[in-house]
Amino acid sequence: MTATTDGSTGALPPRAPSASDATAETTEPTDRIRTAVLDDTAEAARRATARATDHLLSLQDPAGWWKGDLETNVTMDAEDLLLRQFLGIQDRRTTEAAGRHIRGEQRPDGTWATFYGGPGELSATVEAYVALRLAGDAPDAPHMARASAWIREQGGVAATRVFTRIWLALFGWWKWDDLPELPPELLYLPKWFPLNIYDFGCWARQTIVPLTVVSAKRPVRPAPFALDELHVDPRRPAPPRPLAPATSWDGLFQRLDKALHLYHRVALRKLRGAAMRSAARWIIERQENDGCWGGIQPPAVYSVIALHLLGYDLDHPVLRTGLASLDRFAVWREDGGSPGDAGGSAPTRMIEACQSPVWDTCLATIALADAGVPADHPQLVKAADWMLAEQIRRPGDWSVQRPQLPSGGWAFEFENDNYPDIDDTAEVVLALRRVRHPDPQRVEDAVHRAVRWNFGMQSRNGGWGAFDVDNTSPFPNRLPFCDFGEVIDPPSADVTAHVVEMLADVGRAHDPRTRRGIAWLLAEQEPSGAWFGRWGTNYVYGTGSVLPALAAAGIPGSHPAVRRAVRWLQTVQNDDGGWGEDQRSYQDKERWAGRGVSTASQTAWALMALLAAGERESEAVRRGVRWLTGTQREDGSWDEPYFTGTGFPWDFSINYHLYRQVFPLTALGRYLGGGPAAVGA
C-alpha cells in the first residue's frame, strides 16, 4: 500500500501509458537484436580476418619482404618504347608485349586515361598513340583513327604537357625552340638563390638535372614516320601561346623563359661544357648500387639519355647497369592478363613507375600484427630482419638542408639510399615495434636513429613533408617547364599524421615537437571535418591517417575536431556500407570529396579512423565491416581496380596492388582486437 496525497492509504490511481514505458518494454529485445547483429558481424570479421591473414602470409618473399604491383598509366610503357627507339635497342618481343598492354588499356572512345574509370587524358593518349605506331599499328586502323581524331579535337600535340613534347622533340616531331628552356647552369645556383635545384622536390630534382643536359644538347633522331595526323594544322603545329601580363608571376616566368632561349644561343662554350660535366657528375654520384636512380623510373630514363648524349657508350658500366635496372620495372604477364585487356595467351609487359617493397612490407607487418598474428611469428621476425637491413646510415640530398643531422631513415624502394622518406620511416618504426625480435637491442637502436632523424626533418611550421625540410618555395611550380604535377614537397597531413602516431607510439606524445605537429594537423582540418590526402586518395585517406594519430597522441574522441571528422565520414559513407573516393576530388572537391565507388582500401581507412575515434559500436562501423566481409574473395583477397594512391594529386595516380590486402586486414584486426597491437621493443 502507498500513501495517497491526502494522507490516507491505498493504491495510486492508474496512469496513461507514456513513451518511456514503451521504451522500457522494448529495450531488452532491442538490445538482444543489436547484440546478435554485432555478434554476427564480429563472427564474419573473424572469418574474413583468418582468410586474409593466410593470404597475406602466402605473398611474402622468402627474403622477408612484400611487394605488390605498382600500376600507374600507359605513359610509362610508351616512354619505355620511345627510349628504346632513341637508343636503338628495341626488340620485337618487348615491343609486341608492350603494345598488347597499351592496346588493352584503350577506352572505347579511343583515348587513354591516367586512372581506372577516369576520363581520357590528352598527353597520355598522344604518347600511347605514338607507342602503338612504333609497335606497328597503322594510323588508319579503327582504334588509332579514333585516338587521333580525339587528339585533334583537344588541340593536338600543341596542347600536351611539356614532357610529352620533349619526347616528340627527340625524334623531330616537335621543335626544341618551341619548348621551355632548362639550362644546365642551373646547377651552379647556390641553395639560397630562388630556383636552385634544391628548391624542387627530390623526384623533380632527379628528373630536372638530366633534362638540363637534354635541353642543352637538343638531340634529334630520325623519325620512323610522320605524325601529321596529331596536329590540328600540320602546317602550323605550334601556334603562338598568349603572353600573360608582365606584372603577373606567369608573365614574369614566360619572359624569363624567353631570355633563357636567347641565352641558349650565346652561352659561353666553356661554361656550358663545365655545367654539363657537373650535371654528369651529379647524376653518376646518385646512381644506386643496382643501377637505378632514386628507385623510380622517370629519373632513370632521363639520366640514361643525358649520359648517352654526353658520350657514355651503352656498354659503359653506368649505362649498362642503368638499363638493366629499367628492365626490373617491367611486369610481364604471360597470360595476357593486363588490366582491361581482352585476354589471350600472348604476354603483356607493364612498366612500374616505381617499386614499393619497404612500404608494402611495413604495412603488411602492421596488418598481420593488428590481426592477431603472434609478435614472434617467424614471418614477422623475417620481415623485421629485412627492414632492419634496409635502414639508411649515410647522408643523402636531404642533408643539404640538415648537414648536421645523422641519418636513420628508410626509403620506399629496394635501392634508394639518397632519398629516404619520412613517411616510410615512421611506418617502419610502427611495424618494428609490433614484432618481438630475438635481438631487441638491435630494434631499439634502429628505432632511436629513426626517431632522431624524423624529429630533425620537421619543417618550421610544425608539419612534415615526405623527403625534405621546408621544401615550400612558390617559384618552381611557376616555371613554364613545370606543367605536370607537383614539383615541391611541402608538409602534408597524411605524412605528419604518421610521424605523430609513431612518436606517440615510442612515448614522445608530449614532446614539444610532437605537440607542434598535432597543432599543425588541427589547424589543417578542412571546414567539412576532413583532412586533405597528399599521397593517398584523398580526404578519406587524409582523415584515415589523422584520426588514428590523434588518438595515439591522447586526443580524446570527444574533441571537436574528432567529432567533425566522424560526422564527415558518416555523411560520405556509401549506401552499400563502404567508402570510396574518386581521383577527381583533387580537381573538383565540391562534387567528389569523399565520393566514389566503394573500395576495400578506402573503406578500411574510414574504419580505422572511426575505430580510433571510439566508434566501434556505431552503425557506420558495422556497415563498413559488413561491406569488407561481404566483398572478400574466396582466397582471402579483395578486388580493387580503382586507383587509391597518388604520386602527384590528379596528375599521376597509383593503384598499389597490396593496398587492397593490407588495409582491410588492419581495419578488421582493429575492429576485433580493439585497436593497434601492443608494441614490442
CB 595 within 8 A of CB 580: yes
- As a whole number of angstroms, the distance between CA 617 and CA 558 comes to 15
- As a whole number of angstroms, the distance between CA 549 and CA 503 comes to 9
Q: Is the dihedral of CA 445, 57, 664, 340 positive or negative?
A: positive
R_g of the chain, CA atoms, integer Å: 28
Q: What SS3 state is found at 646?
A: strand
425: Cβ contacts below 8 Å, ≥ 6 apart: 408, 409, 410, 450, 453, 454
Our separate counts of H helices and E strands in the chain read: 23, 7
Please identify which of the residues 199, 423, 494, 651 carries the catalytic annotation.
Answer: 423
CB 191 within 8 A of CB 287: no
The question of whether 423 is a catalytic residue gets the answer yes
526: Cβ contacts below 8 Å, ≥ 6 apart: 532, 539
CB 394 within 8 A of CB 82: no
Buried/exposed 661-671: b ≥16 CB within 10 Å, e otherwise: bbbbbbbbbbb
- For the chain, the residue count is 681
- As a whole number of angstroms, the distance between CA 664 and CA 156 comes to 43
> Scanning the structure block, which residue is given the C-alpha cell 586533405?
532
- As a whole number of angstroms, the distance between CA 489 and CA 480 comes to 19
Q: Which triple of cell numbers denotes residue 154?
A: 583537344
Question: Torsion angle of alpha carbons 362, 496, 196, 399, nearest 10°?
Answer: -60
User: What are residue 317's phi and psi, to 5 degrees?
Assistant: -55, -35
- As a whole number of angstroms, the distance between CA 181 and CA 211 comes to 10
267: Cβ contacts below 8 Å, ≥ 6 apart: 183, 185, 216
Q: What SS3 state is found at 381?
A: helix
Give alpha helix (H) positions in 537-658: 539-552, 560-571, 589-592, 600-612, 619-631
The identity of residue 343, as a single letter, is G
Residue 533 sits at the vertex; the CA angle it makes with 354 and 53, to the nearest 5 degrees, is 65
Closest CA to 464 of 420, 505, 529: 420
97: Cβ contacts below 8 Å, ≥ 6 apart: 332, 346, 347, 348, 349
Q: Which triple of cell numbers denotes residue 437?
A: 625480435
Closest CA to 650 of 597, 589, 588, 583: 583
- Per the DSSP assignment, residues forming a β-bridge with 9 are 3
User: What are residue 173's phi and psi, to 5 degrees?
Assistant: -80, -5
The identity of residue 49, as a single letter, is T
Give alpha helix (H) positions in 192-285: 202-217, 249-266, 269-285
So which residues are the catalytic ones? 423
